[in-house]
């Protein structure tokens, strides 16, 4: 008898139907030489500290770090899990061969391996690896079963990830809670959640520290086209008015006129993160809900496997594309032009070198029924239209650049028109999409200009205010996690960054929800903001290893190397053990600075803490580091001594072209240095990143690292 173990009852039912195992038993299906059983997702977990030693149940600093050797697993404490596991255990003992039918990914591999390990399976194991649950895909998968050994590195990577998260999560959470929690609040620290929270806190501090400034710009209208002065923004109204008077005394002259035709590339197919970003942008869906909707569509056989991080298709899929398109009856009008000629076999869509476990998310040949929920229909529509759009021609555009001058002041303007819609035709009937694109693409119409022509014009002054950085939304936060905090708009560069992003596509939604659940962040409309507890937690953690998105991205890169057999899982574990050990020694010897919470919200480790707004250090609380007799005060452009006339001490808000947050200036005053900073753009020695220090003369220096 061959035993198939699926990850969910519904998947087991689909597989059993294809295999002819039609007799339903308690916890499995039987027939035609097969038994098909299932888990309910995770059945096993790594053992908790008290499973190794009873004294580790209580939290104290003296028992840290906790480093099990070896790590063990146990069943999740749930009666239903225990009953189903007993069924699996019995079937494993009776069968001749096991077929691992878990979800075809790292997490699915880990779930099944742990279950088989717990069941002490000694039988031969094969692996079913499919990207959709259609009958054709299941049949093809069973005709091409692989040895379980082929996926050993996938398991090692998943196991290393779990152990790494345990090592850091268990030790750092106990460490910071006992050191800084004041026995009132649990301070949860994690390999992925902490740098994610740090990004949100940093953005919020940048917003809070931002000083809005007024500015004035010179513009003019010539032949019904608005031109902008190509000079720096003016800081005073007086300068703007002088400039306006100067413009009135001179004619407008065209000095350059250029039209360039170009193409706008087709959008890429969806990976999970891109789908979550688009669903949040367009419909306001959370990442967690989008994953739930696309997972449901996958289980209903309408779309392919969703937990993917590539936007490419396997080259072997190319012959199947016309059949999938023909099955999409709801989109007949859009598909008709594609079926008039062969589907192009483009490397921007089909590339085996960019596909590992699975290809991008696309529709299957089974179109949805009317039984879908409203949300599922909208998510399917996103996937379907993106699938259609990638096979349309590129969008042809025209870019016009015009330069002029009034006296000695240069002016310029630009325009962009769509010449041929191309792939945009797919979205033209989507009213919201059409409106958004029209506003963006159909800029002011620019007539034909001749170089050297002159004429009267209507100059004017535009008054504006500088804007702070925007808070993260779930869409922009997902993108930031994908690129380890780097702001990257280019799709190809973003694709290359995926191996070193924070977390994996399948886990990012859960990380964000965990931060909400622990009250470290909150949602205001679409914006994600850090709570006072979240801010205090990040301020308490001095170790950049825990907070740095880039360093966490490096760990993720190593995990992917383990998956590909290019890095040793034991080495990864030992590196984390060393990091946790050093962190423990460092934090234990730090001066305690308890997180402030409301007096009536003392909590145990299982309850939720309600944070009180922290007492904020004001400049009036700090002594001037130079004269040491006066307090500091905040001015328009700097923090300085309240007796600046005699003392002369100050720290500008902008140093070497980088704007500093108040927290960074406080670090300079109190700690004599900041953490590592980036974004210096006018240092005399071209240093762009480093640590600011307050030297012995109480002057600010930038030290490269």
Under DSSP, is residue 457 helix (H, G, I), strand (E, B) or coil? coil
pLDDT for the residue 497: 57
Under DSSP, is residue 113 helix (H, G, I), strand (E, B) or coil? helix
pLDDT for the residue 605: 32
Residue 310 CA to residue 606 CA, distance in Å, equals 38
Residue 105 CA to residue 295 CA, distance in Å, equals 14
Residue 184 has pLDDT above 90, yes or no: no
Contact between 425 and 267 under an 8 Å Cβ cutoff? The reply is: no
Strand pairing report for 73-75 and 28-31? unpaired
Q: pTM for this structure?
A: 0.74
DSSP string of 311-371, one letter each residue: --B-GGGGGGHHHHHHH-GGGHHHHGGGGGSPPP--TTTB-GGG-SS---B-B-SS---TT
Q: Which two tokens stand for residue 145?
A: 């079963």
Percent of the chain clearing pLDDT 70 (strictly above): 91
Residue 581 CA to residue 67 CA, distance in Å, equals 9
Residue 457 CA to residue 228 CA, distance in Å, equals 13
CA 146 to chain centre: 33
Confidence class for position 318, pLDDT limits 50, 70, 90: very high
Residue 231 has pLDDT above 90, yes or no: yes
Nearest to 247 by CA among 223, 227, 273, 271: 227
Under DSSP, is residue 215 helix (H, G, I), strand (E, B) or coil? strand
Under DSSP, is residue 91 helix (H, G, I), strand (E, B) or coil? helix
pLDDT tens, 364-376? 999 997 689 999 9
All domains of the chain in start order, with CATH: 2-144 (3.40.50.140), 161-207+471-601 (1.10.460.10), 214-266+395-465 (2.70.20.10), 272-389 (1.10.290.10), 619-703 (no CATH)
pLDDT for the residue 656: 85
Contact between 520 and 189 under an 8 Å Cβ cutoff? The reply is: no
Mean pLDDT across the chain, nearest whole number?
87
Confidence class for position 132, pLDDT limits 50, 70, 90: confident
Sequence-distant (≥ 6) Cβ neighbours of residue 472 within 8 angstroms:
199, 200, 203, 480, 527, 528
pLDDT tens, 530-543? 999 899 899 888 87
Residue 4 CA to residue 127 CA, distance in Å, equals 10
Taking residues 551-566, what's their average pLDDT? 86
Residue 422 CA to residue 436 CA, distance in Å, equals 17
Confidence class for position 412, pLDDT limits 50, 70, 90: very high
What does the radius of gyration of the chain's CA atoms come to, in whole angstroms? Answer: 30
Under DSSP, is residue 562 helix (H, G, I), strand (E, B) or coil? helix
Q: How far is CA 101 from CA 12, 41, 309, 635, in A?
A: 8, 12, 21, 65
Phi/psi of residue 240, nearest 5 degrees: -65, -40
Confidence class for position 596, pLDDT limits 50, 70, 90: low
Residue 263 CA to residue 650 CA, distance in Å, equals 52
pLDDT for the residue 261: 92
Under DSSP, is residue 217 helix (H, G, I), strand (E, B) or coil? strand
pLDDT tens, 475-527? 999 988 888 766 555 555 555 556 667 888 888 898 999 999 999 999 998 89
Percent of the chain clearing pLDDT 90 (strictly above): 61
Contact between 203 and 485 under an 8 Å Cβ cutoff? The reply is: no
Residue 297 CA to residue 376 CA, distance in Å, equals 7
Show which residues are catalytic: 305
DSSP string of 413-441, one letter each residue: EEEEEEEE-GGGGGGTT-HHHHHHHHHHH
Q: What burial class does residue 612 get, using C-beta atoms within 10 Å of its C-beta: 0-12 exposed, 13-18 middle, 19+ buried?
A: middle
SS (H, E, C) 251-301: CEEEEEEEEEEEEECCCCCECHHHHHHHHHHHHCCCHHHHHHHHHHHHHCC
Contact between 549 and 502 under an 8 Å Cβ cutoff? The reply is: yes
Q: Which two tokens stand for residue 336?
A: 């008709």
Taking residues 335-344, what's their average pLDDT? 92
Contact between 40 and 87 under an 8 Å Cβ cutoff? The reply is: no
Q: Which two tokens stand for residue 93?
A: 């003992």
Confidence class for position 600, pLDDT limits 50, 70, 90: very low
Sequence-distant (≥ 6) Cβ neighbours of residue 82 within 8 angstroms:
75
pLDDT tens, 37-86? 999 888 999 999 999 999 999 998 889 999 999 999 999 998 999 999 99
Q: Which two tokens stand for residue 193?
A: 């959640």
Write b or e for each residue in 84-101: b if 16 or more Cβ atoms lie within 10 A of its Cβ, otherwise e.
bbebbbebbeebeebbbb
Taking residues 248-277, what's their average pLDDT? 94
pLDDT for the residue 705: 67
pLDDT for the residue 691: 87
Residue 505 CA to residue 486 CA, distance in Å, equals 17
> Can you tell me which residue has the tokens 């979550």?
276
Confidence class for position 669, pLDDT limits 50, 70, 90: confident
Residue 482 CA to residue 498 CA, distance in Å, equals 6
pLDDT for the residue 607: 31
Confidence class for position 592, pLDDT limits 50, 70, 90: low
Sequence-distant (≥ 6) Cβ neighbours of residue 666 within 8 angstroms:
617, 622
pLDDT tens, 374-384? 999 999 999 99
Residue 277 CA to residue 374 CA, distance in Å, equals 19
Residue 191 CA to residue 413 CA, distance in Å, equals 48
Q: How many CA atoms lie within 13 A of 475 on its CB side?
A: 14
Q: What burial class does residue 341 get, using C-beta atoms within 10 Å of its C-beta: 0-12 exposed, 13-18 middle, 19+ buried?
A: exposed
Taking residues 193-221, what's their average pLDDT? 93
Phi/psi of residue 433, nearest 5 degrees: -60, -45
């Amino acid at each position: 008898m061959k035993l198939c173990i699926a990850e969910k009852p519904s998947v087991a039912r689909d597989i059993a139907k294809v295999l002819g195992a039609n007799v339903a038993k308690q916890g499995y299906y039987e027939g035609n030489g097969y038994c098909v059983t299932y888990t309910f997702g995770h059945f096993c977990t790594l053992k908790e500290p008290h499973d190794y030693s009873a004294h580790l149940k209580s939290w104290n600093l003296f028992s840290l770090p906790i480093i099990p050797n070896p790590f063990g697993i146990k069943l999740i404490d749930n009666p239903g899990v225990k009953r189903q596991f007993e069924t699996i255990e019995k079937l494993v003992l009776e069968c001749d061969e096991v077929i691992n039918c878990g979800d075809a990914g790292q997490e699915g591999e880990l779930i099944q391996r742990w279950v088989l390990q717990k069941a002490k399976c000694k039988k031969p194991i094969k692996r079913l690896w499919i990207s959709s649950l259609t009958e054709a895909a299941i049949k093809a998968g069973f005709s091409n079963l692989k040895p379980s050994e082929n996926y050993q590195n996938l398991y090692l990577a998943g196991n290393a990830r779990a152990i790494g998260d345990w090592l850091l999560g268990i030790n750092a959470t106990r460490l910071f809670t006992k050191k800084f929690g004041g026995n009132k609040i649990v301070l949860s620290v994690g390999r992925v959640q902490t740098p994610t929270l740090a990004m949100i806190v940093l953005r919020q501090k940048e917003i809070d520290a931002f000083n809005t400034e007024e500015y004035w710009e010179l513009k003019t209208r010539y032949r019904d086209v608005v031109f902008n002065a190509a000079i720096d923004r003016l800081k005073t109204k007086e300068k703007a008015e002088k400039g306006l008077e100067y413009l009135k005394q001179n004619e407008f002259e065209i000095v350059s006129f250029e039209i360039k035709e170009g193409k706008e590339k087709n959008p890429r197919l969806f990976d999970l993160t891109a789908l979550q970003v688009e669903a949040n942008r367009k419909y306001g869906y959370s990442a967690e809900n989008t994953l739930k909707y696309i997972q449901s569509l996958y289980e209903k056989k309408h779309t392919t496997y969703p937990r993917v991080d590539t936007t490419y298709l396997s080259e072997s899929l190319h012959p199947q594309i016309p059949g999938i398109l023909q099955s999409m009856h709801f989109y007949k009008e859009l598909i008709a032009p594609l079926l008039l000629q062969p589907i192009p076999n483009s490397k921007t869509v089909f590339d085996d070198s960019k596909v590992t476990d699975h290809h991008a998310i696309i529709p299957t040949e089974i179109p949805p029924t009317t039984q879908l929920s409203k949300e599922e229909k909208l998510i399917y529509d996103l996937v379907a239209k993106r699938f259609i759009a990638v096979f349309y021609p590129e969008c042809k555009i025209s870019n016009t650049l015009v330069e002029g001058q009034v006296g000695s002041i240069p002016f310029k303007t630009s325009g962009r028109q769509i010449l041929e819609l191309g792939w945009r035709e797919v979205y033209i009937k989507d009213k919201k999409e059409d409106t958004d694109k029209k506003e963006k693409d159909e800029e002011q119409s620019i007539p034909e200009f001749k170089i050297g022509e002159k004429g009267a014009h209507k100059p004017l002054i535009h008054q504006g205010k500088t804007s702070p950085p925007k808070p993260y939304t779930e869409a922009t936060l997902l993108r930031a996690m994908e690129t380890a905090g780097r702001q990257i708009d280019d799709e190809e560069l973003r694709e290359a960054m995926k191996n070193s992003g924070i977390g994996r596509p399948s886990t990012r939604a859960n990380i964000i929800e965990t931060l909400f659940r622990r009250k470290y962040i909150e949602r205001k409309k679409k914006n994600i903001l850090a709570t006072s507890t979240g801010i205090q937690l990040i301020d308490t953690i001095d170790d950049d290893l825990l907070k740095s998105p880039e360093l966490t991205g490096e760990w993720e890169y190593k995990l992917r190397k383990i998956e590909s057999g290019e890095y040793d899982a034991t080495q990864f574990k030992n590196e984390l053990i060393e990091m946790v050990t050093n962190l423990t020694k460092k934090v234990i010897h730090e001066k305690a600075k308890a997180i402030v919470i409301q007096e009536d919200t003392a909590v145990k480790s299982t309850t939720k803490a309600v944070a009180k707004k922290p007492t904020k250090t004001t400049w009036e609380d700090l002594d001037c580091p130079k004269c040491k007799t006066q307090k500091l005060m905040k001015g328009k452009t700097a923090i300085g001594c309240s007796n600046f006339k005699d003392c002369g001490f100050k720290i500008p808000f902008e140093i070497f072209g980088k704007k500093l947050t108040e927290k960074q200036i406080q670090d300079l005053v109190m700690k004599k240095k900041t953490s590592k900073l980036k974004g210096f753009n006018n240092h005399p020695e071209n240093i762009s990143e480093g640590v600011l220090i307050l030297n012995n003369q109480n002057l600010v220096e930038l030290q490269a690292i």
